[in-house]
Structure 1
Amino acid sequence: MPKLTSAVERTLDSNTKVVLVTMDNHLSGAFEQVSQKLMASAGLRFKMHAASDWRNNPSALEKCREDIGQANIVIVTMLFMEDHFLPILDALEQRRFHCDAMVCIMSAPQVMHLSRMGKYVANTQAGGLIGLLKKLRPSAKDAQGKDKPVSAGAKQMAMLRRLPKLLRFIPGSAQDIRIFFLVMQYWLAGSEANILNMVIMLVQRYARIEETHSAHRVKLEAPVEYPEVGIYHPRMNTRLSDQLADLPYTKNSKQPAVGMLLLRSYLLAGNTDHYDAVIEAIEAKGLRVIPAFSSGLDARHAIDQYFKKDGTPQIEALVSLTGFSLVGGPAYNDAKAAQVALKELDVPYIAAHPVEFQSLDQWGDSDRGLLPVESTIMVAIPELDGSTVPMVYGGRPGAEGTTCNGCDRQCTFTKAHKAQNMFTCAERTEMLASRVHKLVQLRGRKREERKLAIVLFNFPPNAGSVGTAAYLSVFESLYNTLHTLAAEGYRVELPESVDSLRDRLLVGNAAQFGTQANVVHQIPVAQHIQQETWLGEIEAQWGAAPGKHLTDGKSLFVMGAQMGDILIALQPAFGYEGDPMRLLFEKGFAPTHAFSAFYRYLREEYKADAVLHFGTHGALEFMPGKQTGLSGKCWPERLIDDLPNVYLYAANNPSEGALAKRRAAATLISYLTPTITEAGLYKGLIELKQSLERWRGADESDQTDRVSLLQMIHEQALALDLQVPSLDNFVAQHSADLASIPWVDALQAQLLELEYALIPEGLHVIGRLPSRDERLSTLKAMAQAMGIDAPELIGKLVDGDKEFELQAYTQGFSDAHILQIKQLVETNHILSQDHELAGILRALDGRYIEPAPGGDLLRNPEVLPTGRNLHGLDPFRLPSAFAVKDAKRQADKLLARYAADGQGLPESVAMVLWGSDNLKSEGGPLAQALALMGALPRFDSYGRLAGAALVPLNELGRPRIDVVITLSGIFRDLMPMQIKLLAEASFLAASAEEPEDQNFIRKHSLAFMQAQGCDMETASLRVFGNAEGAYGANVNHLVDSSCWEEEDELGNAFTNRKGFAYGREGHPIRNNALLQSALANVSLTYQNVDSVELGVTSIDTYFDTLGGISRAVLLFFFFFF
């Protein structure tokens, strides 16, 4: 066998077929060139398949399986996700011992274990490859020296270069392991030359020559080495370098610099058109670009080497074009490490992305935008690092002749566009460059020179809610914010008081113009017609300009007040009021003339340097368009454009906050929700409580007094709509035993629960620290949630006693409770400081805002400190292990409560799932849906959500409950993987060969199959929601406006809006008949109210969802039965 460390020659068989399977097409251009050269020089047939093609092209999957079955040598790489490797796993297993070699690298363990190369057979030899890796892994000191931090990629490549040398002289299977590492070395430096030589090496080593056809003499070259960390520029002579001085800029350039992160693999493959376009677009704005790369998907080394000088940041913004987290890739991410690096840079961090798993024309035509895997890997995961402004900038062209409808340019792809090479979306790239430029300008402009717009809201419209926001005292908070801005250098005309500020905004000249607030500016209709780019779309919805909202026929009004260089403006109403049947968020909807003109005024006429949306929430992020990965046709993009957007958002609402980030390019600044306190009782309940106390203290021998008191308690309970039995003949039947009456005892327990229920107290005020009593109430509630009953200890803690002074009060506490007490001490410290105004100032300075989880403070103290950039949870880890464990307990309690009424178990439960409740509780409600079905989430070897699994009936101990699930639009947008999880659970249950009396999902699915003649895939669908791009059931709008006569209209409205069924692939298909049939079987409707901050009467969304589905259940029960 020739030694492969130097050039070698070998005769190759012309019939040899090599098949390579990988995650995506980013190396396909290089593969195509390699394939042609291998056929020309060696007569080899080389086929490449990308797993990303299979979702939309089943024939591509079949072709891949066919090629695997015929291959002499199979190479598999970068298959981490089950959606990518499970469709071919059986084909690989079948071919493993019938091909010359199978090399599986950098993939899931199930794939890696299939490697078979000569004498090396993975998973059969003691220690194996993994043991060798552990023993020979170099240290950072070995790789780079003592003082310099080392990237994961640099360590890996140092190891790969070292191993073949060490293994060179070891006989037996070690030589095959040596080849394995050389394959990795070739692959990770995946230029055209290295891919070519990787294939040649494997054929020379393993291909069996059975026939003697014409052959070619092929020279094998050692791996070409490239910088592990370096810079790239299309105008550099070498294109790649490790020297910053090689960039094509003058040495003393004063232009602000933008750091840019690129994927090394794209650069080595020469697939760089999308990168080049972004570089060119940003340079056209007068900025320098430092495009850097780092191997191993760990960008920290590139950041330290090229974006800093002697530890000091040298850039004004950081843009990642990789589509991955800063530290990690498709298999993992290290958000904590990324946050440390980004905090040191302290510049805006924009994570833009190409569309990797679909073509640009598919993205352009889609209402959804990004695919679930794209929105998870490229948007949700980078948000954990603290990224902002997620947006598409390019992707792969469609087939020749197809058109991308992502924007009005409607690019048509020609033969010149290589179908698998990356292509820039010019409109998106220009928008990305403009946004970067505006952020850099914001950073460079002194505070006293900046013009800011602060936007207040008016929701719900026509309800006296001008200038309101969830949990926030808006005008008091705004007053404090203005004073802080003035103190920090902004030019602000300060109002005398909060009342003065409110009057200037809400009174002023409002009566003169017949508006709800002061009119600060008038936009002539002729100007609006001339400047409105999308006038035709707006007029198709609202009639000729200026429409009917905020206008006198001659002008459109901007409401608000100018206070120095701060414009306080009131966002116009949405436009649906008075016509609730007009579906606000449906495809084709457009904002009113006034709404579009409002944002155009802020951008183009007022020329704000930044906008601050003040409180939760407005309408901008809910305007029509794609769910994620928005295009130039999406209204939120059109309205906010390139204006830097800071959004003050309630810390307990990460789901809707995520929409603002992803659909309105917002950097969120979280604010605390009000102090939690005990609810107490109001007058009628207090009187009932007093009567009950007299009952407990009354003389049991005085029957007359007790009967009189019992009648009073009964009357008071009925007046409060509390459930009590009839008193007819009650006294006569129980006259001998009036000492203990069950329903009176039940009333006492119910009153106790009401009195001590936790509720928010008042409204939060930005710039005002919680008082001692408010901190005490919050910490008591947190201690209660932790299971700690120590009021004296909490009082001492709030009063500032040192930790060692508190030890006397913690005798007998468990170690876990001791840790929780320390957490309470830290919480008290955080609540004693202001973080929110500081966060607003940092965001308006264009600095990095640290990310923070959102949710309920009682459940997750990590929401503190506020003043940070909200994010949701890692969707790969949802639901959490705790949520799954707690869900079983909750499901058991629900079923026991239903059975207590003597009805046995319900065969079917209708359940409402919201995005906000699931993000706040780590997936608690969705885990409850799984628990009712007798299912569990299934995680892969990397700990990422991969699907569902059934709990065996003998372990479950009860029948599987049929769960009909309706989703909020926000759940659909933020949790596409969890939709597939729920759909897979219902399908597995329906398909299980189990008795129908032990599996109600199967029972009802089989009945529907028989009645409708459909397949099990359809009959088992149990996850329903809106069409893509639509939100809400509209039941609340109908009720609010009294636009209904019969209650059945509410049930029909609900099923018409929620009649889209989501299957295992995550695609919505309208199927009202299935939803109606499923609802007819329902015995119980359920929604877990997860937060103490909201009750079912707090907001109308509860009767839109839970109320809507309850009405629909009644409607279709009577219809079918």
Structure 2
Amino acid sequence: MVKITFITVSTPGIKSLIEAGKEINRQYPNILDLNLYYGKEEMNDEKSKKMAEDIKNSHLVFVDLMGSPSSIAKSVYIGLESCNGNIVPYGSSAREYMRLGSFTMKGMTDGKNKKKMNMAAIEKMKSTAETLGKIMPGKMRDMKNYFSILKYFKVADKSNILNMLYLMLRDYGNINEIPRLLEPREVEEVGICNPETMRFYKNYEEYEKDFPFDIKKPTVAILFYGHKYPVDTSSCVGEIKKRIEKFANVIPIAISGAFTKNEKKIKDVILKSTKTSVDIILNFMSFRLGAGPMGGEPQAGIDLLKKADVPYFHPYFMSRRRIKEWEESIQGCSTSEMMISVMLPELDGCIETYPVGAMTEPRYDMEFDIRTDELVIIEERVDKLISRIRSYINLRKKENKDKRIAIICYNYPPGESNIFGGAFLDTFSSVENILKNLKDKGYKVNPLTKEELMGIFTAGGIVNSGKYSDSWEKMIKYPDKKYREELKKSSDYEDIIKEWGPSPGSIMVNDNNEFLIPGIIEGNIFIGLQPTRGVHEEIEKVYHDKTLPPHHQYSGFYKWIKDEFKADAIIHVGTHGTLEFLKGKECGMSGNCYPDKLLSDIPHIYLYYCGNPSESTIAKRRSYANIISYQPPVFVQGELYGEFAGLISMIDNYHQSLSLAPQSSDDILSSIWELAEKLNMPKNLDNIEGELYRMKKSLIPKGLHIFGKGYTPEEAREYAKGLLRYNRNGILSIRELITRANGCSLDALLDNDQYETIREIDEEAEKIIDYYFENRKLKKSKYINENNKDEFIKSLEYGCTIIESSQKNYEMEGLMRVLEGKYNPAKLAGDIYRHPEILPSGYNLYQFDPRLIPTKIAYKRGEKICLNTLDAYKKEENSYPLSTAVVLWGLETSRTQGETFSQILAYLGVRVSESSNEWDPKYDIIPIEELERPRIDVTINICGFFRDMFPNLIVSLNEIFERLWKSDESDEENYFKRNSKRIYKKLLDKGYDEEEAKELAISRVFGPKEGSYGTGITKIIETKNWEKEEQLGKAYIDSLQHVYNGKVHGKRVEGLYEENLKTVEIISQIRSNHEYEITDLDHYYEYFGGLSKSVEMVKGQKAKMYITDTTGDRVLSESVEKSIERGIRTRVLNPKWIDGMLEHKYHGVQKIADRFENVLGLAATTNSVEEWIYEDMYDSYVDNEELRKRLIENNPFAYMDILEQMTEYYNRGYWKADKEKIDKIKELYLELEGNIEENL
């Protein structure tokens, strides 16, 4: 008998193999021993061993492992190593083992990477085989057979599979008594095809005879796979097609070939088939439109989408989830499906990514000992898709004058001081700008000014849970009756009632049991405030489950928008709201997920900060947001102010005196020490100079951005000058060019604290830049000569290009286009200084491709962070730390392309392998003798964004931990293994079996539970609902104790997280962008601070706390105290930053007040806020009468928040203020409160 073994992930392939195998066994008994293994599902040890044995003893093995679990791949490769038979790989798996007769893949690999194929060579070889294989024996015939087998399997119907087995039996089993082979049945690479029958049509005219075109209807183009690998999607596509045909014409386009090869035909079919243009493109295929796993040209796909200029939907089929499994899963879709069906299509600007099909429960075939399943539609999800297609078509067809648009702004935390919030956004001015443009585009609206909007919402008392106003008569009322009827049908009815009581509840409800809708209607435009989450009204809920369901008025608000206001689109304004973080799946949403429920079928447009890839990604995936990016305000140098300017002048005088008047130098130095002490600076001249230099050169945001407004020429020049301070994208900084011309290195000058020389270089660089920008020619300089002038010109011309491009702004154009149902191309989200191509803004956003992390640059910088922190620790403790704890954010990972991830690798003594590629990441364990230090253990604290955005990196980390556990190294060499052994023993003592104890003992990735994103610490600080700092540490542990490894996803294991924290001696996080100092963002105290407090609680003592700044060319690691101090000096106390904020009425003090709360958070979690900081904040913001008046005029409500925070510092013992200061604060507060109540 001929033994043939198939390991495949193809469900149609397995189904046809069973049918064909049974037919052969009936007609030709005892010639075929067919063994089948389904490569998608985990196997037990017994079955894995049997599979490896079958492979080893087979005459021919067919290997198809696309997306198979690593355990299956491992068993397959074990078998292949011992196999002497023929091996046919399908796709990229096991190519290095390929042999069929005398044919191998030798010479077909691409360079060093043996798994990456040279596609040009393969195409040439395939063409040769097609011609010569029919007439020539030996290698040519084997080559032809190989490509025939691939063709047979691609269209895996019974006929093809039967003939494939006949070929294998005849040519590689010496079986001659079989029928004559039929050539592989192939499908057209591109064609109009009815998915219900898989009949291909020559053109649309022929198709139209069966499906008449109605010119009055819209048209939808559907792209789907023409082949059946790895699942047969045709019946599901056919069912969806039938439902669309009830209201639209359909162009069904089956694609089996590469886009680049068939680009013209695909374009012609989409763009030229019908009498009218298409209105929606619906793509059910995985990967990018223009490029698949074998490569391609992504830009070609984007060019087509731009040409079509219609919404690009990307619903998908889950071939790795059964319907029931998906319904019960909080994760939603699998990691691999998220990558190929969501993340990669997002790079093309797709929207509407949710599953519409999944696998059935398996059926067991006894003869072949295998379970099979098939793809079916998810009825409720298909209904959602159909309704949202209709809604987007409505945007295309409805006249602007008839469209009803809901503009939703934020009011978080609730109250008068935080109306119209949004990161880096002057939201009142932005909404004014939007209303004006809507009016110009024909929408029915009275364009209100920002002053009118402020008056309506503040003085008018239209606010969530107002503190000073209970004037509800101006709010829109919505009886809860309709909501209550729908609530009773909800699957979450009991959860909602349990948390919030019966409808309508107590939040934003009047005495008539009516929901209060905080907003106004102007013509056909609603402008309102997103509801509060309820924890500020019922503060005990801050300690509850983080997946708190929305309260009644929250749900009622969105129901009112749909049913009563009848919105054609929702626009959420600014980063960020709360809708996308409501309870539901992480990705691959269902109708039971709250964001999905509340949005219903309304198109969702979200104005989002271009620098935030993590939260914008969640908004897209969980609330179907069609993102319109907005840019940051311009960043300017912080400069030195007040007595800091005098201090640097003294230091300059001191340096000059050493050579010109040595007798006066001691007196000058004494004055320096005196002023430095007053300014709370160290008594070390180099350290003072370094800190003053960093303060002066720190980039700070100048005010806020107004949506739709690009940089002015002056602001664009500031931005370009900032870029030219750093080496970027092959462009050398002007400072670098000057130092090279001077025969030295900028790094060397910084390392040796040569700040006087560095300042001279900076001054010369600025002169060269300003002169070139003004005159477009080089300034005469001793640093510019014939040898280097071209480099100077190259860098300066780059700066000129940036000046031109950064003045462009497509935000308003992008918004108006999406409201008209047009295509919204996507751009990278991130730091505009690291990636200037992010500007101009006004587009959809995507995260950095997780398969490419870490980049080479990120790895080098991560390695430097590791060395910096270890050196700092060793300098203090004279030893290496046993363990570190690192905060790993999705935001930072996407922006830096993996600096913290690389830092983790470096601690562990691991590097990226040269043979690694995006589909097959590889890591090398650095030998201890090369590392020259122990491997440092690391506890990794991820946020929910990292979990959702970079699941592949979690997989890679756990694979690395497994290898480190198995390494042949001592406890003194491998601290990871040492700690793992300790934890392993404790788990065994608790009753875990050996395998599970091992899995958990080597786990190091901890984060929020499934479906959750934060820790709750920010809400505890906001609500002031805590008494002891330990409550903050406990809240952090409760939130972050969920383990993520190869076997479990967000599982809470009692005590495991704490066991890891027990040995932590360093806590580390990076500051990766200019937008936020550690004092500017609450998530720093939430994660870094929460982790610090947790370690202190578990150990009984503090760990070393380091913040590493990677915003410049050099990586600077320092204590958290210094990082806090710099944030305070460069921003909170800096008149230049304050003045920039106060240019924006109402919002300025709103943003300043946030920093006061962040200081409290940092004080409570790190205990690293010095006394002088509180004193200086008091002097500037309370005692300075001139500034105080400006602050009160800007936003009296937010200024009262500042006074509350100052009181909180004192009451909690962080600020040792004297009685007079506290009395003054209380007096001011009461005076302001009286004025506000009188005016309202």
Q: State the TM bucket, normalised to the shorter chain.
A: 0.7 to 0.9
Deviates more, 1:597-606 or 1:306-315: 306-315
Residue 989 of structure 1: how far off its partner (Å) = 2.9
Structure 1 residue 629 and structure 2 residue 617: aligned?
A: no
1:371 to 318, 327, 334: 334
C-alpha distance in structure 2 between counterparts of 1:282 and 1:851, whole Å? 27
1:194 to 141, 160, 173: 160
Aligned pair in 2 of structure 1 residues 446, 614: CA closer, same or farther (>3 Å)? same
Verify the 8 A CA contact 1:688 1:717 in the aligned structure 2.
Answer: no
Residue 453 of structure 1: how far off its partner (Å) = 1.1
The residue aligned with 2:314 is 351
* Alpha-carbon displacement from aligned partner over 1:737-790 (angstroms, at most 9, x marks no partner): xxxxxx244223212212221121110112333223321221111111223234
The residue aligned with 2:734 is 788
Residue 256 of structure 1: how far off its partner (Å) = 1.0
Q: Write out aligned runs for 1:102-113 (5 A).
A: 102-108=87-93, 111-113=94-96
Partner-residue secondary structure (3-state), 1:785:
coil
* Alpha-carbon displacement from aligned partner over 1:557-609 (angstroms, at most 9, x marks no partner): 11112222221121111122244553689476310111111111222221111
The residue aligned with 1:473 is 426
The residue aligned with 2:1233 is none
Deviates more, 1:384-393 or 1:708-717: 708-717
The residue aligned with 1:916 is 891
TM-score, with normalisation over the residues of structure 2? 0.78
Partner-residue secondary structure (3-state), 2:407:
strand
Partner-residue secondary structure (3-state), 2:1009:
coil
Structure 2 counterpart of 1:884, one-letter code = Y
Residue 120 of structure 1: how far off its partner (Å) = 3.1
Aligned-residue sequence identity (percent) comes to 26
Aligned pair in 2 of structure 1 residues 614, 123: CA closer, same or farther (>3 Å)? same
Verify the 8 A CA contact 2:195 2:252 in the aligned structure 1.
Answer: no
C-alpha distance in structure 1 between counterparts of 2:276 and 2:65, whole Å? 34
Deviates more, 1:1050-1059 or 1:1097-1106: 1050-1059
1:272 to 212, 234, 241: 234
Verify the 8 A CA contact 2:349 2:825 in the aligned structure 1.
Answer: yes
Where structure 2 has 5 or more consecutive residues not aligned to the other structure, the ranges are 365-370, 728-732, 736-764, 989-993, 1104-1240
Q: Write out aligned runs for 1:937-956 (5 A).
A: 937-938=912-913, 942-956=917-931
1:1021 to 998, 1003, 1026: 1003
The residue aligned with 2:253 is 292
Q: Write out aligned runs for 1:354-503 (5 A).
A: 354-399=317-362, 420-462=373-415, 464-495=417-448, 497-503=449-455
Partner-residue secondary structure (3-state), 1:223:
coil
* Alpha-carbon displacement from aligned partner over 1:1029-1069 (angstroms, at most 9, x marks no partner): 12222222223333222222222221121111222456333
Verify the 8 A CA contact 2:109 2:115 in the aligned structure 1.
Answer: no
Structure 1 residue 239 and structure 2 residue 199: aligned?
A: yes
Q: Write out aligned runs for 1:700-715 (5 A).
A: 701=663, 705=667, 709=671, 712-713=674-675, 715=677
Residue 1105 of structure 1: how far off its partner (Å) = 0.5
* Alpha-carbon displacement from aligned partner over 1:201-247 (angstroms, at most 9, x marks no partner): 111111156xxxxx9653321222432211222566x6333432225
Deviates more, 1:814-823 or 1:1022-1031: 814-823
1:925 to 894, 897, 900: 900
Structure 1 counterpart of 2:88, one-letter code = V
* Alpha-carbon displacement from aligned partner over 1:894-926 (angstroms, at most 9, x marks no partner): 222333335333222211111101101111111
Verify the 8 A CA contact 2:55 2:80 in the aligned structure 1.
Answer: no
C-alpha distance in structure 1 between counterparts of 2:473 and 2:82, whole Å? 75
TM-score, with normalisation over the residues of structure 1? 0.86
Structure 1 residue 119 and structure 2 residue 74: aligned?
A: no
C-alpha distance in structure 2 between counterparts of 1:313 and 1:723, whole Å? 73
1:652 to 607, 611, 615: 611
The residue aligned with 1:734 is none
Structure 2 counterpart of 1:540, one-letter code = K
Aligned pair in 2 of structure 1 residues 938, 136: CA closer, same or farther (>3 Å)? closer
Residue 363 of structure 1: how far off its partner (Å) = 1.2
The residue aligned with 2:132 is 166
Verify the 8 A CA contact 2:606 2:626 in the aligned structure 1.
Answer: yes
Q: Write out aligned runs for 1:55-134 (5 A).
A: 61=48, 64-77=51-64, 79=66, 83=70, 86-97=73-84, 99=85, 101-108=86-93, 111-123=94-106, 134=120
C-alpha distance in structure 1 between counterparts of 2:829 and 2:180, whole Å? 59
Structure 2 counterpart of 1:671, one-letter code = Y
Q: Write out aligned runs for 1:626-1025 (5 A).
A: 626-683=585-642, 685-686=644-645, 701=663, 705=667, 709=671, 712-713=674-675, 715-718=677-680, 722-723=681-682, 743-786=684-727, 787-789=733-735, 790-796=765-771, 798-799=773-774, 801=776, 812-813=787-788, 820-901=795-876, 903-938=878-913, 942-1013=917-988, 1015-1025=997-1007
Verify the 8 A CA contact 1:293 1:302 in the aligned structure 2.
Answer: no
The residue aligned with 1:145 is none
Residue 447 of structure 1: how far off its partner (Å) = 1.7
C-alpha distance in structure 2 between counterparts of 1:131 and 1:703, whole Å? 70
C-alpha distance in structure 2 between counterparts of 1:136 and 1:1011, whole Å? 54
Partner-residue secondary structure (3-state), 1:1043:
coil
C-alpha distance in structure 2 between counterparts of 1:858 and 1:524, whole Å? 50
Structure 1 counterpart of 2:612, one-letter code = N
1:219 to 180, 205, 208: 180
Aligned pair in 2 of structure 1 residues 234, 836: CA closer, same or farther (>3 Å)? closer
Give the CA RMSD over aligned residues: 3.5
1:550 to 508, 511, 519: 508
Partner-residue secondary structure (3-state), 1:865:
coil
C-alpha distance in structure 2 between counterparts of 1:125 and 1:303, whole Å? 29
The residue aligned with 1:40 is 26
Deviates more, 1:119-128 or 1:166-175: 119-128
Deviates more, 1:676-685 or 1:313-322: 676-685
Structure 1 counterpart of 2:239, one-letter code = A
Aligned pair in 2 of structure 1 residues 782, 941: CA closer, same or farther (>3 Å)? closer
Structure 1 residue 22 and structure 2 residue 4: aligned?
A: no
* Alpha-carbon displacement from aligned partner over 1:632-666 (angstroms, at most 9, x marks no partner): 11111101121111111101101100000000001
Deviates more, 1:514-523 or 1:238-247: 514-523
Structure 1 counterpart of 2:234, one-letter code = T
Deviates more, 1:67-76 or 1:869-878: 67-76
Verify the 8 A CA contact 1:24 1:356 in the aligned structure 2.
Answer: no
The residue aligned with 1:1118 is 1100
Deviates more, 1:344-353 or 1:901-910: 901-910
Partner-residue secondary structure (3-state), 2:1058:
helix
Verify the 8 A CA contact 2:716 2:802 in the aligned structure 1.
Answer: no
Aligned pair in 2 of structure 1 residues 201, 266: CA closer, same or farther (>3 Å)? same
Verify the 8 A CA contact 1:79 1:85 in the aligned structure 2.
Answer: no
Deviates more, 1:651-660 or 1:675-684: 675-684
Partner-residue secondary structure (3-state), 1:997:
coil
Aligned pair in 2 of structure 1 residues 253, 705: CA closer, same or farther (>3 Å)? closer
C-alpha distance in structure 2 between counterparts of 1:216 and 1:669, whole Å? 66
C-alpha distance in structure 1 between counterparts of 2:347 and 2:531, whole Å? 33
Partner-residue secondary structure (3-state), 2:478:
strand
Verify the 8 A CA contact 2:13 2:153 in the aligned structure 1.
Answer: no
Verify the 8 A CA contact 1:396 1:419 in the aligned structure 2.
Answer: no
Partner-residue secondary structure (3-state), 1:290:
strand
Residue 541 of structure 1: how far off its partner (Å) = 1.9
The residue aligned with 1:1030 is 1012
Deviates more, 1:791-800 or 1:314-323: 791-800
Q: Write out aligned runs for 1:594-633 (5 A).
A: 594-633=553-592
C-alpha distance in structure 2 between counterparts of 1:810 and 1:432, whole Å? 64
Aligned pair in 2 of structure 1 residues 118, 518: CA closer, same or farther (>3 Å)? farther
The residue aligned with 1:6 is none
